A and B are shown apart, each in its own frame.
Chain A
Amino acid sequence: EVQLVESGGGLVKPGGSLRLSCAASGFTFNSYTMNWVRQAPGKGLEWVSSISSSSNYIYYADSVKGRFTISRDNAKNSLFLQMNSLRAEDTAIYYCARAHDSTVVVSAVDIWGQGTMVTVTS
């Protein structure tokens, strides 16, 4: 079964840091571009970052650029999001999501994790 399981969310003060992880199983992780998408409480979906299969291509939303770093460990089938200088507006559920087409760098998302909640508050 194809599965993505996020972890690492929690409560953090403004200016603090957090590292999210996403454990992948049931597919050849090193062939797929992976993504982070977030959703603030009661709000819509917001794309955060994408990383290609071999980490050659990395993209960020302007709202997180310079503060967040996406990375992956293909040997451990894991995706990460290092979040620094956190702000209240970063409060959201963070979803890990797989791109459906392993033959291209950019394609639509097909599989989503269950999400991990990040709350930034003093």
Chain B
Amino acid sequence: DIQMTQSPSSLSASVGDRVTITCRASQGISNYVAWFQQKPGKAPKSLIYTASTLQGGVPSKFSGSGSGTDFTLTISSLQPEDFATYYCQQYNSFPWTFGQGTKVEIK
């Protein structure tokens, strides 16, 4: 199985900060990476697919990059509604696997 290692597991940031979350795959997965946002008690929301393509309706403050084994999710200017847990996921091959999540908290 492909392991997805996400870092950091949590971070504290202020409104307006630029935030970067990293995900590393245990083997090359081309660009078959998706990113999700989840708020407490809610279903996940899809943000990005193929490493860098925004899902419809997702604001451009979110961006993704990477290919092969190393991927990043960046939030350009953190807003109150962005405080949540973020997950990466590979869909290059089954079984699909997720990173362990990064909780973004208010500083």
Q: Which residues of A contact B (CB under 8 A)?
A: 37, 44-47, 50, 59, 61-62, 95, 100, 106-115
Contact = CB atoms under 8 A, between A and B. Distances in A.
A61 B91 contact: no
Nearest to B38: A45
Contact of B55 (A59, A110, A114): A110
Contacts of B100: 44
30 contacts: A37-B44, A44-B87, A44-B98, A44-B99, A44-B100, A44-B101, A45-B44, A45-B87, A45-B98, A45-B101, A47-B89, A47-B95, A47-B96, A47-B98, A61-B95, A62-B95, A95-B43, A100-B55, A108-B34, A108-B46, A108-B49, A108-B91, A109-B46, A110-B46, A110-B55, A110-B56, A112-B44, A112-B45, A113-B43, A115-B43
Contacts of B101: 44-45
Interface string B51-93: 0000110000000000000000000000000000001010100
Interface of B: 32, 34, 36, 38, 43-46, 49-50, 55-56, 87, 89, 91, 94-101
A115 B38 CA distance: 13
A18 B101 CA distance: 29
Contacts of B46: 100, 108-112
Nearest to B56: A110
A111 B44 CA distance: 9
Contacts of A46: 98
Contacts of A62: 95
A106 B49 contact: no
B94 A100 contact: no
Contacts of A44: 87, 98-101
A49 B36 CA distance: 18
Contacts of A109: 34, 36, 46, 89
Contacts of A106: 91
A62 B34 CA distance: 22
